[in-house]
Amino acid sequence: MSERSGLRRKIWVAFILQAAAISFAAVLGVYGASAVLKHVLIQRALQEEAVHFWDRRALNPRADVPDTYNMTGYLVRPGETTLLPEALKSLEPGFHSLPRAEGGSLVLVQDRDEQRLYLLFKQEQVDALAFWFGMAPLALVLAVVYVIAWSTYRASKRAVSPVIWLASQVQHWDPHHPNVDAIKPENLPGDVEGEALALASSLHDFGSRIGSFVERERNFTRDASHELRTPLTVIRVATDMMASDEGLSPMSRRALTRIRNSGRDMEALIESFLILAREGDTGLPDEDFPVSDVVRDEIDKARPLLIGKAVELDLVQEADFELHAPSRVLSVLLGNLLRNACHYTDAGRITITVRRGSIAIGDTGVGMTREELTKVFEPFFRGGDRGKDGQGIGLSIVRRLSDRYGWPVSLESEPGRGTTATIRFPAAS
């Protein structure tokens, strides 16, 4: 499992996003608190300070205006602005915020008893308060959040490490020889416990079963290859000898022809099944071979199927090319398509056309409807003339072989006018 796309990375991303979201919320909260501090609390403090001053002024007309480290006050009669700083002269009653170029203070202006009170709270002090009561706690909170997130990530990483280790072991299994010994309970790392231990035990049992199934399949294909071909070879030799007897009656010769044709079909069917039985391993070597050689061999094998029919079998070779694959696979694929064409064509012509990167098998047989074409690759479906003999699995085998080797097969057909099957080879040289 790739570290870049695995579970550990997803957990890391989740914690990063969580820490970022918490940080954003904290910064937003502190910013809001700073705004409240500046525009609500300071305003209220100035207002209460003004009330307190007017109360003192009522008791002592000589009471001084506030003049502290954080606050400065001015008391003048309306219109008398000579004692005021320039920035305050144009201010009307109410709250004001001076720009930093003019002192950067929060100002409250009030009129009472024909006098005007100016109270200034220094912006530097507001910023200092915002920092110490906002930014400093924010930095501390974020530091705690990051430490907790990192600690939680480390704990989560340790918790999922056994699962990641198991996934890595299973990922590197060879489907044909799964190495289940690595996840035996006695071979597991010490941190594999609980659910991970149960998962490892289940995977070990499952892998062992897969190994036995693969071995059983391998033995079957080996034995079937020998045991099934041997009697068919005997049948083929015997029918060839019987066919040389000129004393056979016409009825016996027709029956013998059917036996020979069925024997050939069975040989091809067994060959197809043996190839498909091995998942990703046909047991056949890859080789570089000219396609035209295989096509000619399959045409020669198909000619006996047309004995007694008014059908011509032609090869049109516009080009030739080579494939790197087991030649027997192409033989099986072509053989199934050719047998289908011979089976469903009683008169006319079957033409095999070899072009650069493709092979087309066209016939003038019974053809198929559009509805039949949508189902023709399904097992045991038989289109066209259903009165003819056949198993209905030839095209299903063709589709499975074409999918495995990346050789797409397409069919075009019209009822009563025939069918054309085209095999394409994208990687052909």
Contacts of 15 (CB under 8 A, 6+ apart): 149, 150, 152, 153, 156
How far is residue 15 from each of residues 20, 24, 126, 145, 158, measured CA to CA in Å? 8, 14, 35, 11, 15
| End position of a domain, from candidates 216, 249, 277 | 277
pLDDT at 17 over 90: no
Domain of residue 51: give its range: 7-141
Residue-level pLDDT at 4: 47
| End position of a domain, from candidates 217, 247, 277 | 277
| End position of a domain, from candidates 277, 305, 321 | 277
Q: Which of 2-11, 203-212, 344-353 has the lowest mean pLDDT?
A: 2-11
Residue-level pLDDT at 313: 93
Task: Write out pLDDT tens, residues 137-155.
Answer: 777 777 887 788 787 777 7
Total domains in the fold of the chain: 3
Residue-level pLDDT at 1: 44
Highest mean pLDDT among 225-229, 268-272, 307-311, 357-361: 357-361
Residues 121, 52 share a domain: yes
The better pLDDT of the pair 186, 398 is held by: 398
pLDDT at 64 over 70: yes
Residues 231, 359 share a domain: no
Instruction: Rounding to the nearest 10 degrees, give the CA dihedral for residues 210, 216, 221, 225.
Output: 170
Residue-level pLDDT at 135: 67
Task: Write out pLDDT tens, residues 176-218.
Answer: 566 666 666 666 666 566 666 677 677 777 777 777 776 777 6
Confidence of residue 292 (pLDDT cuts 50, 70, 90): very high
Residue-level pLDDT at 126: 64
**Which CATH number fits the domain that encloses residue 177?**
1.10.287
Residues 349, 247 share a domain: no
For the chain, what is the mean pLDDT?
78
Residue-level pLDDT at 22: 77
CA angle 241, 247, 248 (to 5 degrees): 70
The residue type at 102: E
Residues 420, 292 share a domain: yes
Q: What percent of the chain has pLDDT above 70? A: 72
Residue-level pLDDT at 37: 62
Task: Give DSSP secondary structure letters for 334-381.
Answer: HHHHHHHHHHT-SEEEEEEEEETTEEEEEE-S----HHHHHHTTSTT-
Name the one residue in this structure whose structure tokens are 């006695």.
186
The better pLDDT of the pair 289, 80 is held by: 289
Residue 133, token pair as written in the block = 């009561």
